[in-house]
Structure 1
Amino acid sequence: MKKEFSVVIAGGGSTFTPGIVMMLLNNQDRFPIRKLKFYDNFASRQETIAEACRILLKERAPHIEFSYTTDPEEAFSDIDFCMAHIRVGLYAMRELDEKIPLRHGCVGQETCGAGGIAYGLRSIPAVIEMIDYMEKYSPDAWMLNYSNPAAIVAEACRAMRPSSKVLNICDMPIGIETRVAEILGYEDRKQFDIMYYGLNHFGWWKEFKDTETGENLLPRIKEYIKENGYLPPSAISGAQHTDESWKDTFRKVRDVYALDPETIPNTYLKYYMYPDYVVEHSDKEFTRANEVMEGREKEVFTECNRIIANGTATDTSIEVEEHASYIVDLATAIAFNTKERMLLIVPNNGSITNFDPTAMVEIPCIVDNTGAKPLQIGEIPEFQKGMMNQQVSVEKLVVEAHVEGSYQKLWQALTLSATIPSATVAKAILDDLLEVNKDYWTPMN
């Protein structure tokens, strides 16, 4: 009989949590769970999600011991894994992250540019606090962190808790590989062997091969995306529901790809390469945060309240979260030493030979029960290296600003961002962000 594991989901009040629970239930054969806990510091929000999940678990996996709490000792005691996806400040702060830079004519996005920096400075202390709780109450546990902005959070983990058992992951490349599978007529992204490199939300695929035949699929992918971007055929025909903001992001890949046709890009590169386009096509009054609050937030909480009122989840509309499959893959690789190949955010340490060894890069790794073993990438082209050098310096300066409480370094970080045109604009944005984040950020002097 396989070993069973105890898991805490940090961010128990997230609208993504029910879908992660569904994924965990669907994978009990390869990653058995004996105990599942939710942890959040927003008690009432978590209660709604958790009570719906309690009903779901009772019906589908009554053997799993379930609880939820706001108490760190209760949450982090007797666990093997912490799956962390927290959002400090919730969507109200995300809305400000997006709208304040847009007011100044700059990209307003939750993980890129000024908005990502603001979000990062809220996330750092909370993630570090959770690492400390985990190490105090379950010192042998692993944290699988997919809290955004992953690049800044990963750099903070490296700089502030270098020996901790934390693996930082992101689902965006998985989402793109899933779309490529649909575009090419494959059933599953795991039918590909890929080689990818970059920073989080800032990377490129240089290899895409058929796992079985070894066929180089890049020419077929390039032929498609230079006309359609990553918009899959089902979205083009209208058969697939995709938010308009995401459709635009998938289409814009055509222009990002045109800048370097040797590779295929991560969608988020549009924010750095075409910030003027992004601002011009942004609704400064109704951003992505508003889309989510009007859509997903209401839908998930309405469904959870319906489950609670009916006392059953047998007919639930909650679906498995696509990104959650990656988390189960990672947990299984650590738990059962599977040596699975996965994209993770790890210290470079020479994997990219012509790049900063201390940079947190997103590259393929082999995962076993000791953690991640990064693969060798070799040299990368000057164009990518130049962009990455600039962006990794932004991330390092943000973490240094947090550690030192340095206004100066934070101003430097914003000035260095490719999404902001000048130090003058950077300072104006910083002062506005500082005002609304004073209850979250470390004091800046």
Structure 2
Amino acid sequence: MIGICDTPTELFEEVAHTLSLDSERCYFDYFGLNHLGWLREVYSDGEPQLGRVWNDAERLRSVYRMPIFEPPFLHDLKLLPTEYVYYYDQPQRAFENVQRAGRSRGQAIAELTGVLFEALREPGADMVAVYKAYLWTRSAGYMQIESGSDSPAAPARQAGLSGYDRIALGVVRAIHFNTHAIIPLSVRNGGNIPELLDGDVVEVPCVVNSNGARPLHVGRVVDRIRPLLARVKEYERLTVRAALTQSLDAAREALASNPLVPDRATADRLVRDLSPLW
């Protein structure tokens, strides 16, 4: 099993740019789960680099496309979180910003997709140009609602293919040509992160070659991160159980364990509202 996501590599590219480094010559010491990851260190030609940013507020701000983490928080943490950690770090702020906007990111994407399909139906439409315009607009609105920003997000620094296809093709290329590329992927834990079970899926750097993806050892995580990592993974386990058993009680238990769900009453209400779709 190999899972892909472009979030870690986008963070890597932003950090490399901030530090004026060639990302191709860097190793990124990263660990976490899908949409819940942290960059622990960047090594350029074997030398650690993140010590250059912790006391530089402007550099820390420039890592992220939206103003979601304050420099003092990052300075104390001594880790660079992926953007999705924002929802766990500041859930009330994100929720209030969505309420203030009057629509969610999902609703915004649905509107954009509707416009895309209409444009593609136009006779003589340049479909590639239409799709590129859609991707640009979608990227510009990334986390704008949740962060409460008045300005669109800056373009991601990854060039060429859009996120997921770049990662997917990179994996396929590494397997086919046996390149031993190092790519952050979601794979079986197998003791890599000792705080989690062997069968859990984790997101870590992997050496990818003709034998598949082999995770690099990341070891123990810092104390400050461990409770959140363990709780989200328990939510994932319970969610899988609920899906496999088709049990509403199991779904309630899973949602109640999610750090973003404030109480069991909210979990009950979510299951009640969503169960007709199940």
Q: TM-score, normalised by structure 1?
A: 0.51
- Residue among 230, 234, 253 paired with 2:63: 230
Aligned to 1:261: 77
1:398 CA displacement: 0.7
Q: 1:329 aligns with which of 170, 174, 177?
A: 170
SS in 1 for 2:92: helix
Q: Which residue of the partner structure matches residue 361 of structure 1?
A: 202
Match of 1:285 in 2: 102
Question: Which residue, out of 174, 187, 191, partners 1:346?
Answer: 187
Q: Residues 180 and 288 of structure 1: is their aligned pair in 2 closer, same or farther, counting only changes over 3 Å? A: same
The percent identity for this pair of structures is 24
The structure-2 alpha-carbon separation of the partners of 1:407 and 1:255, relative to structure 1 and needing over 3 Å to count, comes to farther
Match of 1:191 in 2: 25
* 2:90 match: 274
Offset of residue 256 of structure 1: 9.2
1:345-388: CA deviation from partner (whole Å, max 9, x where unpaired): 11111112333222111001111122111111122222222111
Report which of the two structures shows the higher radius of gyration computed on alpha carbons: 1
Q: Within 5 A, what are the aligned runs for 1:12-91?
A: none
Distance 1:364 1:376 in 2: 8
Q: Measure, in 2, the Cα distance between the counterparts of 1:321 and 1:394.
A: 30
Gaps of 5+ in 1: 1-165, 232-246
Amino acid at match of 2:244: V
Residue 14 (structure 2) aligns with: 179
Measured at CA, do residues 265 and 225 of structure 1 come closer, stay the same or move farther in structure 2, by a change above 3 Å? farther
> 1:195 and 1:301 mapped to 2: Cα distance?
43
Farther-moved stretch of structure 1 (410-419 vs 222-231):
222-231
CA contact (8 A) 1:192 1:209 kept: yes
- Pick from 202, 218, 226 the counterpart of residue 50 of structure 2: 218
Aligned to 1:309: 124
After TM superposition, list the pairs within 5 Å mapping 1:389-428 onto structure 2: 389-428=230-269
1:298 equivalent in alignment to 2:115? yes
The corresponding residue for 2:152 is none
CA contact 1:333–1:339 (8 Å) conserved in 2: yes
Deviations 1:260-317 (A, max 9, x none): 5221111111111211111112136322123223446524752x445x626x679777
Partner Cα separation in structure 2 for residue 415 and residue 200 of structure 1: 20
Letter matched to residue 124 of structure 2: A
User: Contact 2:195–2:230 (CA<8 Å) still a contact in 1?
Assistant: no
Please say if residues 272 and 419 of structure 1, whose CA atoms lie closer than 8 Å, have aligned partners that are also in contact.
yes
Matching residue of 2:150: none
Asked if 1 retains the 8 angstrom alpha-carbon contact of 2:60 and 2:74, the reply is: no
Q: Deviations over 1:12-70 (max 9, x none)?
A: xxxxxxxxxxxxxxxxxxxxxxxxxxxxxxxxxxxxxxxxxxxxxxxxxxxxxxxxxxx
Structure 1 pair 316–202 and aligned structure 2 pair: CA distance change class (3 A) = closer
Number of residue pairs the alignment of both structures matches: 249
- 2:12–2:28 CA contact under 8 A, matched in 1: no
Distance 2:127 2:163 in 1: 20
For residue 374 of structure 1, what is the aligned residue in structure 2? 215
In the alignment, the residues of structure 2 paired with residue 309 and residue 281 of structure 1 have an alpha-carbon distance, to the nearest angstrom, of 40
TM-score (norm 2): 0.79
Alpha-carbon deviation of 1:178?
2.1
2:36 to 195, 202, 209: 202
Which SS does the other structure have where 2:32 is aligned? strand
Q: Which residue of 2 aligns with 1:107?
A: none
Work out the CA distance in 2 between the residues paired with 1:279 and 1:315.
34
**Secondary structure in structure 2 of the residue aligned to 1:194:** strand
Q: List gaps (5 residues or longer) in structure 2.
A: 133-159
Structure 1 counterpart SS, 2:214:
strand
Which SS does the other structure have where 2:5 is aligned?
coil
Aligned partner letter, 1:289: G
Distance 1:370 1:315, change over 3 A: same
